[in-house]
Amino acid sequence: MAYAYDPQNIFARILRGEIPNRTVMETAHTLAFADIHPQAPIHVLVIPKGPYVCADHFALAATDAEIVDFTRAIGRICADLGIQPGEGGQGFRTIANAGDAAAQEVPHYHVHILSGRPLGRMLQQPD
Ligand code: AMP
């Protein structure tokens, strides 16, 4: 695997407890916390505890236990927040940026969960 994980990235520091966070959920392999610059009334970041850079890295290198834990955590967070469209909630968007084209800022895999307002169509034109 060609990915070099930077252990000094900000989410690694959050996982080590060096930087505070507003935790939404913690499981064996996953941490979820509030985004520091929310783009919607609900903006949660979900990260694996393991050292994965982005979605494809996680999907190909993580253990089955990590992947199941992470995926179920997203479902449980959406249920806890009452935003599941199938349960009468308003719905949400998940986003996982990877690399330069997607303007990924933090090189530790994370899924954004956004909700609480109309989110518009999927993509805007780049500036
Ligand atoms: P991305 O562009 O997908 O890499 O998104 C990185 C996200 O991390 C942005 O939405 C930031 O607001 C968020 N972020 C950066 N530092 C922190 C932090 N210390 N606590 C919570 N969220 C953060």
Domain boundaries, the chain: 23-115
Region 63-91 average pLDDT: 98
Query: Does domain 23-115 match CATH 3.30.428.10?
Result: yes
Of ligand 1's listed atoms, the one at least distance from the Cα of 112 is 3
> Which pair of tokens denotes residue 82?
């009452």
Asked if 30 and 101 touch (Cβ cutoff 8 Å), the reply is no
Q: 35: Cβ below 6 Å to ligand 1?
A: yes
Ligand 1 centre to CA of 35 (Å) is: 6
Ligand 1 centre to CA of 11 (Å) is: 8
> Which pair of tokens denotes residue 78?
């959406």
Q: How confident is the model at residue 38 (pLDDT cuts 50, 70, 90)?
A: very high
pLDDT above 60 for 113: yes
From residue 4, alpha-carbon distances to 47, 96, 107 in Å are 17, 18, 10
Residues labelled catalytic: 110
